[in-house]
Amino acid sequence: MLTKLKKRVEQLLVFEAKVAHGIGLSPNMISFLGFTFAIFSALTFATGQKQPFSLVLASALLFASGFCDALDGVLARNYGKTTVFGGFLDSLLDRYADASVYIGIIVGGLCDPFWGLVALAGSFLVSYSRARAEASGIKMESVGIAERAERILILSFAAIAAAFWVPALNFGIVLLAILTNLTVVQRGHHVYKLLKKK
């Protein structure tokens, strides 16, 4: 859903990509950096004991992870460093990052475990449905209402809101549980329509 906005954001990251390239950072390094931010975000969620500062810090770390997720692609494309393995590694680290954040929120007692697991499963299936469809030659970018950018934004804003009212994060998780699985249905319907035409 935010794919068009993502394109504009990537245009704004040209300078940051130039700086990263200038100091010798590779796209894979930035992918690992983003993954590291996500792990620290997850640990902060898990151990923050619902403290306002911890929730804001966890949100900031999650934002930083999302920033790196956008920057690595810009760097790879602008400096001819796009590789099949780089794309694979980025996708793999994104899945681990997503899982760690959801697990951190669940372990930290910030959401109902049931809804946390449903949101986690939905997030994984959103990514899997895209990978499976694109392996069949069907483009899936911008199909669905809860791609990774949307999920990061919802979680980050919910975490900030939870600094003032703790249940806000649980509401964010419930919303993600619904939206991610709805996205899977949307993508399934999209694939069905295209295949039916063929």
Q: Reduce the secondary structure of 147-189 to three states and give it as a string.
A: CHHHHHHHHHHHHHHHCCCCHHHHHHHHHHHHHHHHHHHHHHH
Active-site pick, 69, 72, 94, 98: 94
Structure tokens at 96: 């681990």
Q: What is the DSSP string of 19-88?
A: HHHHTT--HHHHHHHHHHHHHHHHHHHHHSTT-HHHHHHHHHHHHHHHHHHHHHHHHHHHTT---HHHHH
Whether the Cβ atoms of residue 41 and residue 61 lie closer than 8 Å to each other: yes
Render the burial of 41-77: b for 16+ CB within 10 Å, e for the rest: bbbbbbebeeeeebbbbbbbbbbbbbbbbbbbbbbbe
Residue 94 annotated as catalytic: yes
Q: Which residues are catalytic?
A: 94
